[in-house]
Amino acid sequence: MRNRKPGSEALRAAACAAICAALLALPAGAPRAEYGDVVINNHSDKAGMRPVVFPHWFHRIRFSCKACHADLGFQFRAGGNDINMVKIIDGQFCGACHNGEIAWAIENCNLCHSAPPGTPTQVHESTLQRMGK
């Protein structure tokens, strides 16, 4: 074990806290889709909103396919459902869980509407997309 000066642990903890606080104060980078995320832009551009980035794998590790695709009616195709905010507010599609009780509610638009404007509906970086199909 190395010799340490008295108080070095407190100094290290304070430095770590200062670095963490500084990192948290930095503006967040532009949200972006990651491999397998579903970008939904059926209505967003027309409504003057950024397209939605749905983190598919984040949800998939928590729920079975049945939870969304059978129970909530999501089709197995990006853009296959006519999802809009009225339906979500009425508890359909995303709104079945994102209601403020099961998961966070929809008040913060930027949590979902985070893709760059003009991003087409797609499964981000899918094999079919890379093949040009």
**pLDDT of amino acid 125:** 75
Inter-residue contact 39 to 120 (CB < 8 Å): yes
Name residue, tokens 């430095």.
Answer: 15
**pLDDT of amino acid 26:** 41
Among the residues of 1-133, which ranges form H helices?
A: 8-25, 56-60, 65-69, 85-89, 127-130
- Confidence (pTM): 0.69
What is the rounded CA–CA span in Å between residue 80 and residue 69? 11
**pLDDT of amino acid 28:** 47
**pLDDT of amino acid 126:** 67
Average pLDDT per 10 consecutive residues for the chain, totaling 133 residues: 58 60 46 79 94 93 94 92 95 95 91 93 74 60
